[in-house]
Copies of this chain bind each other. A is one copy, B any other.
Amino acid sequence: MKRYAFVIHLKKEKYTQYKELHSKPWQNVLDILRMNNVKNYSIFYKDGNLFSYYEYYGNNHEKDMANIANNPTTQQWWNLTKPCQEPLSSAGKKEWWSSMLEVFHMD
């Protein structure tokens, strides 16, 4: 298992909408994540930033992330969530959420 964490800005005016969407996430979106080896996935909010954390149980993260991204249901979900978010100014051209570096872990 490998842990992943990411950060992105949440637009202030979209806070309520984003929170409501994630209080009732689509079952199909969750199923696609689980089918692609993502577990124990949380998103936290503070002061305009979203932090996400999940545990990946597969052996090809890149392929599984592509499966998730290419799924039509995921894309419909992202059509709603992406306009709420704003990548960090340091994000790469093809990056949406910015990957964080693990500096500490204790089981």
Question: Cβ of B90 and Cβ of A18 under 8 Å apart?
Answer: no
Quick one: given A25-B104, A90-B47, A106-B33, are A42 and B3 in contact (CB under 8 Å)?
yes
Chain A interface, number of residues (Cβ within 8 angstroms): 37
Question: Cβ of B44 and Cβ of A102 under 8 Å apart?
Answer: yes
Q: When each residue 86-107 of chain A gets 1 if its CB lies under 8 Å from chain B and 0 otherwise, what string results?
A: 0010100000001111111111
Describe A's contact surface by its main secondary structure.
Answer: strand
In the assembled complex, the Cα of A90 lies from the Cα of B46 at a distance in Å of 10
Beyond the given pairs A41-B106, A45-B103, A47-B98, 10 more chain A to chain B contacts, judged by CB atoms under 8 angstroms and listed by A's residue number, are: A3-B42, A5-B44, A42-B102, A43-B105, A44-B100, A44-B101, A44-B103, A45-B100, A45-B101, A46-B101
Residues of A within 8 A of B (CB): 3, 5, 7, 18-19, 22-23, 25, 30, 33-34, 38-47, 49-51, 53, 88, 90, 98-107
